[in-house]
Amino acid sequence: MTDVSRLPGPFVDEWSWQQQARCRDVDPALFFHPAGERGPAHDHRDAVAKRVCAGCPVREPCAEYALRTREPYGVWGGLTEHERRAVLARRRALHRRQRAA
């Protein structure tokens, strides 16, 4: 018999949290910067996107999804691309220290 224990769960289990997301009715462009966007315009767009995320009931699973999948673009769970890279770097450093101990 085939071992299916390592296969992912049902698709709906992976994505069901999105049904409750505050961003569902917001233009997705708010969360993803256009090519070449820099400076105050970039910072303002990120800040507005983060305000949407701030009151979201699924902020944590959204952020964890983006971290787990190494999402390279956009604001997810209130974290920008740069912030997610920093979180992942801290986690890797902690993991290395734990293995060395």
Question: According to the model, what pLDDT value does residue 54 have?
Answer: 97
Establish whether 23 is an annotated binding residue. Answer: yes
Rg of the chain over all Cα atoms, to the nearest angstrom: 17
**pLDDT single digits (tens) 35-94:** 999 999 999 999 999 999 999 999 999 999 999 999 999 999 999 999 999 999 999 999
Enumerate residues 6+ apart whose C-beta is below 8 A from 17. Answer: 58, 61, 62, 65
**Residue 34 in this model has a pLDDT that exceeds 80:** yes
Establish whether 56 is an annotated binding residue. Answer: yes
Cα separation, 60 vs 58, whole angstroms: 6
Residue-range domain boundaries for the chain: 27-100
3-state secondary structure of 9: coil
DSSP H helical segments within the chain, as ranges? 11-15, 39-54, 59-68, 81-100
Q: Find the length of the chain.
A: 101
Establish whether 75 is an annotated binding residue. Answer: no
Q: Does the predicted model carry a pTM greater than 0.85?
A: no
